[in-house]
Amino acid sequence: SPFGYNLEIFGCMGCVSGSHRKNLHGASVEPSEDTRRVVEKILQVAESSGSVIVKDRHFGDREMRCLADTVVERAIKLHTLHLEGCSCTPLGAAVIAEMLRSAHLNITSLILISNPLGFEGVRSLARTLTSLTLGSTEAPVNTVKKAGGAVLREMLDSNTTLTFLDASENCVNAETCRAIACALQKSTCAVTSLRLANNAFDAEAALPLSLMLRINTTLTSLDATGACLGLDGTRAFTYALKRSNVTLKVLNLSYQILPFGDDCAEAVAEMLEENAGLTDLILDGNSISDRGCKALSVPLQKNRTLKRLSLVKNGHTEAGKHIGDTSAIAMATMLMVNTSLICLDLSRNRIGELGGATFCRALADGHPSLVELRLADQHSDVDSPSEASVCGHLSVVLCKPNTR
């Protein structure tokens, strides 16, 4: 059977078939009756559903060995193995890796969250994936946390069917980014979605990724949430997306650790003037204020590809800069001529009565494409009941398509 994998190894860093079961010291050992009972209960569900889902810190290597042996011996058809918060070590990872090679299995989802697999455990799983002939699946995913860039590089270099790589919270640095970027430049790489959230990588690390974007023709989604891009890193990305890249559809630069303010927003706006590929742009939790928001609104008057723009919770409280009524007026004006946006999210900012009223007037006759305008949870220095009622009323505005 062809294999496709959804592999998630969060916070981590054999099937021994037949009757030869060994403990950590290599001695032959049979599973205890308690272990057999636990495994049998799990497999009663698995035989009908095809899924093994365990969230128990007492489920460790011995239980995994017993489960894997039983699955192979009974030829149980599994498509999902989900072990969360368990106690599987590198030995357990080796058992899982061997089980994956069983011909009758068609595992499409392997989720190992918060298991002490260690580097070697993750490596053994990665090598198993690269040694198998993988079939196509809708969204094969590989997620590795705290496993090191070498493992990521090894998987990418050898695997030609992997389409979604999540390396979030993996201490990704410039060296790792170069390794990933190098792999993604190859014509054999099939990765379409890359998630590098919460790695705090800086402009130096962003540079090889931006160079990759000028060449890569398969990547459609890039998540750099929680990075330290700064203005230099932002410009590196936006320059690559101006004309060189038309395949990237989703870009997430939310919650940057270094200030992502109006200068960065203006760099993004310059990119939107020429980019003809992006459909989703997420800039939540940054320091963008009225100036940056106004800059973003200008290219969107002509841009016909962007479908979703999110600017949730922006501004700089200490500097007294926010997304407020001035931003709302600019965005409302943009919506009067824009014909492509489906969703505009300005929630958790400081838009008041004036801004809300401006949106109401701009959308009074409907909009050709807008489905959602989100203005929930606005904060204001002015304690006005009428303002609160307007903002509350506009938490979600549904605009029916218009023929104008």
Handedness of CA 144, 236, 250, 213 (dihedral sign): negative
The residue ranking higher by pLDDT, 127 or 142, is 127
Query: In the predicted model, is pLDDT for residue 253 greater than 70?
Result: yes
Q: What is the per-residue pLDDT for 381?
A: 59
Return the minimum-mean-pLDDT range out of 21-35, 305-319, 321-335, 367-381.
21-35
Alpha-carbon distance 209 to 203, whole Å? 10
CATH fold, domain 1-171, is 3.80.10
Residue among 67, 75, 55, 53 nearest 14 (CA): 67
Q: Token pair for residue 139?
A: 């969204």
Alpha-carbon distance 156 to 126, whole Å? 10
Instruction: Encode pLDDT of 332-349 as tens digits.
Output: 999 999 999 999 999 999
* Banded model confidence at residue 243, pLDDT cuts 50, 70, 90: confident
Query: In the predicted model, is pLDDT for residue 313 greater than 90?
Result: yes
* Banded model confidence at residue 387, pLDDT cuts 50, 70, 90: very low
Three-state SS annotation for 241-295: HHCCCCCCCEEECCCCCCCCCHHHHHHHHHHHHHCCCCCEEECCCCCCCHHHHHH
Q: Token pair for residue 10?
A: 């969060």
Return the minimum-mean-pLDDT range out of 81-95, 115-129, 231-245.
115-129
* Banded model confidence at residue 190, pLDDT cuts 50, 70, 90: confident
Alpha-carbon distance 195 to 198, whole Å? 9
Handedness of CA 171, 175, 178, 182 (dihedral sign): negative
Q: What is the per-residue pLDDT for 358?
A: 94
Query: In the predicted model, is pLDDT for residue 371 greater than 70?
Result: yes
Residue 182 region by backbone torsions, left for phi larger than 0, else alpha for psi between -120 and 50, else beta? alpha
Helix (H, G, I), strand (E, B) or coil at 240: helix
Query: In the predicted model, is pLDDT for residue 140 greater than 50?
Result: no
pLDDT above 90 covers a percentage of the chain that reads 52
Handedness of CA 302, 306, 307, 313 (dihedral sign): negative
Query: In the predicted model, is pLDDT for residue 137 greater than 70?
Result: no
CB neighbour list of residue 97: distance below 8 Å, 6 or more residues apart? 14, 124, 125, 127, 128
CB neighbour list of residue 49: distance below 8 Å, 6 or more residues apart? none
Return the minimum-mean-pLDDT range out of 45-49, 168-172, 267-271.
168-172
Read off φ and ψ for residue 63, nearest 5 degrees.
Answer: -65, -40
Element (H, E) at 118: helix 118-131
- Residue 60 DSSP code: B
Tokens 């962007």 map to which residue? Answer: 306
Cα–Cα distances (Å) from 77 to 19, 81, 100, 124, 146, in that order, read 20, 11, 11, 22, 31
Q: Is 173 exposed, middle or buried (0-12, 13-18, 19+ CB in 10 A)?
A: middle
Q: What is the per-residue pLDDT for 30?
A: 78
Cα–Cα distances (Å) from 270 to 6, 213, 281, 315, in that order, read 37, 17, 14, 20
The residue ranking higher by pLDDT, 256 or 10, is 256
Cα–Cα distances (Å) from 373 to 162, 285, 337, in that order, read 35, 18, 16
Alpha-carbon distance 206 to 217, whole Å? 18
